[in-house]
């Protein structure tokens, strides 16, 4: 059994402060802050809750992430004597590399929800030189939909044959 497949992790992901710190530290490893300080790390933006919420919409996926988080923290405590979130960045990177080698799918499950949350965050948009607003239609309210626009289509004969 790989380290990432031991399911000794208890509780819902993010249900305690320690778990939220663990997810935030992991997100900072997935998307670290830029060296020049212009771009924040994903964890420092407080995206852990959103990523957890997005993952919870797919219960099977969330369970796999929970198992990986348990392995990550267990290896950190076993090798460095402290929780993953409490370790300095170079130590966290080494621990994460071990977990990824044992279970490459673990981090890949977190990538999409992390990237979506990160690149929608106002500080990230500002760091990229973008206005923190909806991308289209330039943040303006749309006019209410006029259902009479569909009347022509509704009056048309079917374009298919009944089976």
Contacts of 21 by beta carbon, 8 Å cutoff, 6+ apart = 83, 85
pLDDT of 140: 61
One digit per residue, the tens of pLDDT, for the chain of length 163 reads: 344 333 333 444 556 788 889 999 999 999 999 999 899 999 999 999 999 899 989 878 888 888 899 999 999 999 999 999 999 989 999 999 999 999 888 899 999 999 999 999 999 999 998 888 776 767 667 789 999 999 999 999 888 888 8
Contact 30, 111 (CB under 8 A): yes
From the CB of residue 101, how many other CB atoms can be counted at a distance below 10 Å? Answer: 11
pLDDT of 59: 78
Contacts of 101 by beta carbon, 8 Å cutoff, 6+ apart = none
pLDDT of 10: 41
Dist. CA 91–CA 94, nearest whole Å: 5
pLDDT of 161: 84
pLDDT of 159: 84
| pTM for this model (two decimals) | 0.72
pLDDT of 1: 35
pLDDT of 123: 94
């Amino acid at each position: 059994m790989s380290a990432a497949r031991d399911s000794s992790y208890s509780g819902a992901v993010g249900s305690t402060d320690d778990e939220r710190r663990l997810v935030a530290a992991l997100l900072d490893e997935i998307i670290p802050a830029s060296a020049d300080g212009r771009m924040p790390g994903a964890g420092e933006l407080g995206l852990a809750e959103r990523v957890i919420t997005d993952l919870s919409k797919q219960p099977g996926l969330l369970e796999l992430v929970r198992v990986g988080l348990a392995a990550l923290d267990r290896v950190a405590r076993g090798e460095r004597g402290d929780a993953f979130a409490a370790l300095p960045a170079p130590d966290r990177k080494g621990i994460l590399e071990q977990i990824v080698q044992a279970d490459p799918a673990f981090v890949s499950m977190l990538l999409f929800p992390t990237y979506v949350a990160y690149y929608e965050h106002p500080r990230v948009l500002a760091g990229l030189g973008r206005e923190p607003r909806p991308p289209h239609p330039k943040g303006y309210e749309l006019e209410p939909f006029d259902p009479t626009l569909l009347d022509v289509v509704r009056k048309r004969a079917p374009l298919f044959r009944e089976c």
